[in-house]
Amino acid sequence: MSFHASAITVSRLRFPHPLVLLFAGILLAAGLTWVVPAGKYDRRDDPVTKQTVVIDKTYHAVERQPVGPFGAMVAIPKGLIKAADVVFFVFLVGGAFTVVDKTGALRQAVDWLATRLQHRRGLVIPVVCVVFAAGGALENLQEEIIAMVPVLLLLCRRMDFEPLTAVAMSIGAASVGSAFSPVNPFQAVLAQKLAELPRLSGVGFRVAFLLVAVAFWIWATVRHARRTGGSTQKADAPPPVDSPHLSPPPVPLENGRTTAILALVAVAFAAFISGVLWMGWGFEEMSAAFFVMGVASGLIGRLGASGTAEAFVEGFRSMAFAAILIGFARAIFVVLDDGRVVDTLVSALFAPLGHLPVAASAVGMMGVQTILHLPIPSVVGQAVLTLPVLVPLADLLGLSRQVVVLAYQYGAGLCELLIPTNGALMAILGASRVRYEDWLRFVWPLYLALAGLGLFAILLAVAIGLR
């Protein structure tokens, strides 16, 4: 199928509301627990990866535990509870940035930046894409992007880009960077540990394909912005003065209160980055940092205690939809796990690969990893579940373990671009007011191209005997 034909097919689809789509996924998962045999792998704690991993060749049948209609409903609050750290991160970040926006500082900053970039707008998308792709490559940036959505939307509005461009520049670029990264601790590094490979082995090979993938994504995002916004068609031309999309002339940033609030925002982001990379911060610490930023910004911006609290409540209200989507997405895995069918799906999908030729088996591994990422939307969870099963199989086939890691990365990582069970993606789409089918129409042909690049990389790795 050509990219053009696939794009036409997707454009004719009309998806239901995201909550309806995820609710249908929960019911489908519950139905699977009635027809798929229950089974489990034995597990052990791995001292190297600090993860609980499966033990190969230990799959065995267990007592069926199908999930009924009421059990499927119970999985929804269970999903929200299991995703509580992310859900409350979304609420507190949304509240904090609403406070900052109420002070006027955020809009002034974006106006100031847009005014200085109006003759260099052709650089905005490449620079932002590279920043987020680097975040994906270094830290598997996903849910953390939600904190940046208000700023990105303001920037896109000021530059006359539509909101979908903000999504593409942020989580789109980050997902591409994550999938092709040689250093992503939650994908490449973890998978190499599980496969007992030296850290950063094959780094040159991965970097080459990372650069190609990110360059392709930047090109596609710029092309979309040119087709839909018009403002990037003439990158060096200033925006029309009477454009209805532009705000009034920006207020100078010399105002002391504005500068102080923006400095607080910068400090919060610096703490967020350093905390994640070097201090082992989780979502609880990140949420606290942004909450402090919001409170301090409201007081400095003369909103007062009540005004700051009201702004937080308004922010909570605006992010409720995005937060709920994350819990509903997690509920699908909860149903499958409660029904004891996740391991059965893994075993059934991987078993036929042992009967294929080496190259076909490598391609099949990527395909199976792609399929599994729909019911297992965690890249970490998928790695610890599938790699211990695939590595012994690869050894028997004479297939490089490095290829197994590539198949996992490209299969699971690229799926982050489009699956509705990716809570971060659905939350960012919800916060940006971008319909899922609009995003799918944009991303589907790009996903096919990137998956093709991944398949080429895998076949090349098999051909050259990448170790």
Q: Over pLDDT 70: what percentage of the chain?
A: 89
pLDDT tier at 256, thresholds 50, 70, 90: confident
Q: Are 347 and 386 in contact (CB under 8 A)?
A: no
- Please report, rounded to a whole number, the percentage of residues in the chain having pLDDT higher than 90: 34
pLDDT for residue 61 is more than 70: yes
Tokens of 377: 């939307």
CA distance 33 to 338: 9
Question: Is the pLDDT higher at 282 or at 415?
Answer: 415
What mean pLDDT do residues 17-29 have?
86
Q: Tell me the HSE value of 273 on the side-chain side, using a 13 A CA sphere.
A: 12
pLDDT, residue 214, reads: 97
- Better-scored residue on pLDDT, 226 or 48: 226
pTM higher than 0.85, yes or no?
A: no
Query: For position 392, what pLDDT does the model report?
Result: 81
DSSP classification of residue 259? H
More confident residue, 232 or 141: 141
Phi, psi of 43 (to 5 degrees): -130, 160
Judge whether 392 and 443 are in contact, CB under 8 Å.
Answer: no
Query: Phi and psi (nearest 5°) for 40?
Result: -145, 150
Interhelix angle 304-338/423-432, rounded to 10 degrees, is: 140
- Residue range 344-367: mean pLDDT, rounded: 86
Other Cβ atoms closer than 10 A to 362: 25
Q: Write the CA distances from 363 to 37, 234, 369, 455, integer angstroms.
A: 27, 42, 10, 7
Residue 38: pLDDT over 70: yes
Among 435, 421, 379, which Cα is nearest to 191's?
379
Q: Is the dihedral of CA 219, 221, 227, 230 positive or negative?
A: negative
Yes or no: say if 344 and 35 are a contact pair by the CB < 8 Å rule.
no
User: Region 130-139: what's the mean pLDDT?
Assistant: 86
Pairwise CA distance, residues 428 & 206, whole Å: 28
pLDDT of residue 246: 37
Model confidence at 15, in pLDDT bands (50, 70, 90)? low
- Three-state secondary structure call for residue 44: strand
The burial class, CB within 10 Å (0-12 / 13-18 / 19+), for 45 is exposed
8 A C-beta contact, residue 333 and residue 339: no
Q: Is 340 left (phi over 0), alpha (psi -120 to 50) or beta?
A: left
* Cβ neighbours of 70 (radius 10 Å): 9
**110-114, 194-198, 269-273, range with the lowest pLDDT:** 110-114
- The predicted model gives 152-170 an average pLDDT of 89
Distance CA 152, CA 434 (A): 13
Q: Rounded to an integer, what distance in angstroms lies between the CA atom of residue 426 and that of residue 262?
A: 28
Confidence tier at 12 by pLDDT (50, 70, 90): low
Spatial distance between the Cα atoms of 461 and 404, rounded to a whole number of angstroms: 10
Query: Mean pLDDT over all residues of the chain?
Result: 83
Q: What is the pLDDT of residue 236?
A: 37
> Across residues 298-306, what is the average pLDDT?
91
**pLDDT (average), residues 344-372:** 87
Query: Which is more confident, 96 or 318?
Result: 96
> Distance between alpha carbon 166 and the CA centroid of its chain, in Å?
14
Alpha carbon distances (Å) from 390 to 42, 354, 457: 15, 10, 19
Note whether 94 and 315 are within 8 A (CB).
Answer: yes
Closest of 55, 58, 59, 29 to residue 344, by C-alpha: 59
Mean pLDDT for the stretch of residues 402-423: 91
Residues 176 and 174: their CA atoms lie apart, in Å, by: 5
Q: Mind giving me the DSSP string for 443-467?
A: HHHHHHHHHHHHHHHHHHHHHHT--
Structure tokens at 74: 């119970």
* pLDDT above 50: residue 10: no
What number of CA atoms fall less than 13 Å from residue 21's CA on the CB side? 18
pLDDT given at position 248? 42
Q: HSE on the CB side for 380, CA within 13 Å?
A: 10
Res. 48: pLDDT tops 80? no
Give residue 357's pLDDT.
Answer: 87
Report the pLDDT value the prediction gives residue 6, as an integer from 0 to 100: 41
Structure tokens at 284: 């609880």
> Exposed, middle or buried by CB within 10 Å (0-12, 13-18, 19+), for 287?
buried
The amino acid that residue 312 corresponds to is F
**In the structure, what pLDDT confidence band is assigned to residue 70 with cuts at 50, 70 and 90?**
very high
